Amino acid sequence: MNLQQRRRATSDIRCTLAMSPPGLADHLFPDAVRRRLEGAVKVSSQILTEFASPSSRAELADTDVLLTGWGCPPLDADVLACAPRLAAVVSAAGSALPPLHADSVLTKRLRFANAGAANAVPVAEYSVAMILLAGKRIFESARLYRSRRDFIDREAVFPDAGNYRRTVGLIGASRIGRLVIERLRRSTDLRIVVADPYLSVEEAALLGVHLVGLPELMRSVDVVSVHAPLLPETRGMITAELLTLLPDGATVINSARGAVIDQDALLAELAAGRLNAILDVTHPEVLPADHPLYDLDNVFLTPHMAGSVGNELCRMGEHVVDEVIRFARGEDFANPEYLHSAGAPIPAAE
């Protein structure tokens, strides 16, 4: 029976989960979601956390769809060679792609999909919330109130607080960046400026934002939110020189990747008290215990909470189950993922 026949006989399509810890599957696929998956394909009872053991190799040999999550072991050419039936890799994360060359025979026979679109939703929600709180000067006022423990004359101390016609800057009109734009435009009076070399003037007009260069953005805003993917050309792109262009008291929000910002340069500005920061990501992702970012009063530091967490994992699970069901029906993925000519993943527009 060929793959197309197996798609018609969905009970013959075998799906194997690979993630770590295995308990992650319970959060991604609660009972109702799991039942939908099992109604479309035959789901292995084994959740793979490694691909090296004989039992894992035997499972791979009988797998048509690999449903992966965070902590999935590397899916290299050696592993794929042990999975002759494998036709699709669907990831409950931002990327499903293994590190293989685009011309590889193995990758040519595979289809890929991921849950980046579902994971973008809570990141956008986090970003919008932090942009509005920063504009309202909530973090500074909370620190002041805690120290004074007395009446605060808001108009005297925070005359520039508020989000009425404030200008906010977004670095990157990525998938998340566009969700942030949509939500801010729908429910606020903010003016939005965007720096993105891949965004055209026409697209910016359709989005309802003002397209500017990065230096101009940094000079014109007092709240800037980073939504650029981490690529070789974006590593350290927010330099010390650009940070000096921000007005005194400006807030830098980063829910993308820590290495997009020159962290040492940002730390110098923060230690001097000139800027504020809301950082959900750092470089490295977990800082050493004695790192000064933990202790600075003008830094709001969270442990990568912007992405899907808690009950939001179910959204990602529902998303990838929908993709597996589409595959079982012989349909195209809603969120396919591709290799570019160099063989690396096309970066998800996060």
Nearest residue to 348 (alpha-carbon basis) of 105, 176, 166, 129:
176
Q: What is the mean pLDDT of residues 94-118?
A: 72
Give the CA count within 13 Å in the CB-facing half-sphere of 312. 18
Residue 221 tokens, joined:
């805003």
| pLDDT digits 0-9 by tens, 283-327 | 999 999 999 999 999 999 999 999 999 999 999 999 999 999 999
Instruction: State residue 103's pLDDT score.
Output: 53
Give the residue from 100, 91, 44 showing the smallest Cα distance to 71: 91
More confident residue, 190 or 6: 190
pLDDT for the residue 1: 44
Q: Which residues contact 134 (CB under 8 A, 6 or more apart)?
A: 223, 251, 253, 276, 278
Q: Mean pLDDT check: name the lowest of 181-190, 327-336, 341-350.
A: 341-350
What is the strand order of the sheet 14-18 is part of? 42-48, 14-18, 65-68, 88-91, 111-114, 336-337
Confidence of residue 75 (pLDDT cuts 50, 70, 90): confident
Residue 170 in contact with residue 227, Cβ under 8 Å? yes
pLDDT at 185: 97
**How high is the pLDDT of residue 152?**
96
Q: How confident is the model at residue 338 (pLDDT cuts 50, 70, 90)?
A: confident
pLDDT tens, residue by residue, 234-284: 999 999 999 999 999 999 999 999 999 999 999 999 999 999 999 999 999
Does residue 332 surpass a pLDDT of 70?
yes
- Distance from C-alpha of 73 to C-alpha of 50, rounded to nearest angstrom: 6
Cα–Cα distance, 162 to 217 (Å, whole number): 19
Euclidean distance between CA atoms 347 and 337, whole angstroms: 9
Nearest Cα neighbor of 59 from 248, 67, 284, 111 is 67
Short-list 187, 33, 60, CA closest to 115: 33
Q: What's the pLDDT band for 208 if we cut at 50, 70, 90?
A: very high
